[in-house]
Structure 1
Amino acid sequence: MLQKVESQEQIDTLCRIADRVWRLTYDALLPQGQVDYMLDKFQSDHAVKEQMAHQNYQYYLMCCNGESAGFVGFAPRYEGREEMFLSKVYLLPEYRGQGAVGKALAFVEEQARKEGLPAIRLTVNKENTHAFEVYRHYGFQVVDKVETDIGGGYVMDDFIMVKTL
């Protein structure tokens, strides 16, 4: 079940999930300090509110057995592109393998179709092989790679993946 993020309590939950998932995933992949920097820049209370208010982001909590298990974040026509930008799909490890990610991705596809958008675009860290394989399983294909300077002396080294609808 997906629940639209609208309240402060939901934003707090989303930020707690992001913190845990990021540390489990990226502490071993990224230089020391980069996870803290990126969490503040992209998944903190102020960042989420800014994205929702000014960048057309929509966030939904994924709920399993009445518990918040993860979340998905996306933005139609992000940066003026005629596509859906899938920014985030994070799921706590204890809820993996129960179909939550598949349901979330199906929901994003449905939202893209409602918006009349022909594709979904995402970026995934080149070293995050688990997420990369999940996206490939759901029909995303690598179309490019990009290194993005995010400030603070840090770079994101990502694949760009697209799923045509």
Structure 2
Amino acid sequence: MLTFRQATESDCQLIQSLASQTWEDTYKNILTKAQLDYMFEMMYSIENIKKQMNELHHLFFIVEDDHTPCAYCSIEQKDDFLFNFQKIYAVPTVHGKGIGRYLIEQGIEYIKTHFPTASKVELYVNRFNPAVDFYKHMGFEIESTRDHHIGNDFYMNDFIMVKTI
């Protein structure tokens, strides 16, 4: 049975652990090892996860399959109408089991329930990530591209994908 719950600061270690199980598998054929390591530290050190929760007000959620954590996402409110899925990841052992679909559907349901003026969600996905097709299947459309400098001469080369809710 799948469950979807909001994470708290006490879940930072769990989020970091889930990220460590997904990160390299997701990007090993897209990014260099140096960029993978740099971005992981930038996004998933315990201090940075806490900062995202407490200072940037990102809402983190965890999916459990029969009480075993297997996926997570974070959502940022951009304004009254627009929300951004900052992170959407499932551990490789559950790929193809509908966990990603569940994660997105539950995230959107949370947004619609708690923020009734919300009308659009967006996400950024690397232009070479095979997940682009999954997001299209989930109703997201490519709106534009971005080449976002993240430091250390690294860039995130993304599609900005949007979905009306």
TM > 0.5? yes
Q: Deviations over 1:88-111 (max 9, x none)?
A: 110011112222222211122122
Alpha-carbon distance in structure 2 between the residues aligned to 1:98 and 1:28: 23
Alpha-carbon distance in structure 1 between the residues aligned to 2:109 and 2:160: 21
User: Pairwise mapping of residues 126-165 of structure 1 onto structure 2 (< 5 A)?
Assistant: 126-129=127-130, 131-165=131-165
Contact 2:88–2:100 (8 Å) recurs in 1: yes
User: Pairwise mapping of residues 103-142 of structure 1 onto structure 2 (< 5 A)?
Assistant: 103-114=102-113, 115=115, 116-129=117-130, 131-142=131-142
Range with greater deviation from structure 2 (139-148 or 92-101):
92-101
Structure 2 equivalent of residue 93 of structure 1: 92
Contact 1:58–1:74 (8 Å) recurs in 2: yes
**1:112 Cα deviation after fit:** 2.5
Contact 1:142–1:161 (8 Å) recurs in 2: yes
Give TM-score, length-normalised by structure 2.
0.92
Q: Specify whether residues 81 and 157 from structure 1 end up closer, same or farther in structure 2 by C-alpha distance, changes over 3 A only.
A: farther
Structure 1 equivalent of residue 42 of structure 2: 41
Alpha-carbon distance in structure 1 between the residues aligned to 2:98 and 2:120: 22
Contact 2:146–2:159 (8 Å) recurs in 1: yes
Residues 1:102 and 2:101 aligned together: yes
Letter paired with 2:36: V
Letter paired with 1:11: C
Letter paired with 2:150: I
**1:27 Cα deviation after fit:** 2.0
Letter paired with 1:30: L
Structure 2 equivalent of residue 29 of structure 1: 30
Q: What is the aligned residue count?
A: 161
Alpha-carbon distance in structure 2 between the residues aligned to 1:42 and 1:21: 13
Structure 2 equivalent of residue 68 of structure 1: 69
Contact 2:9–2:50 (8 Å) recurs in 1: no
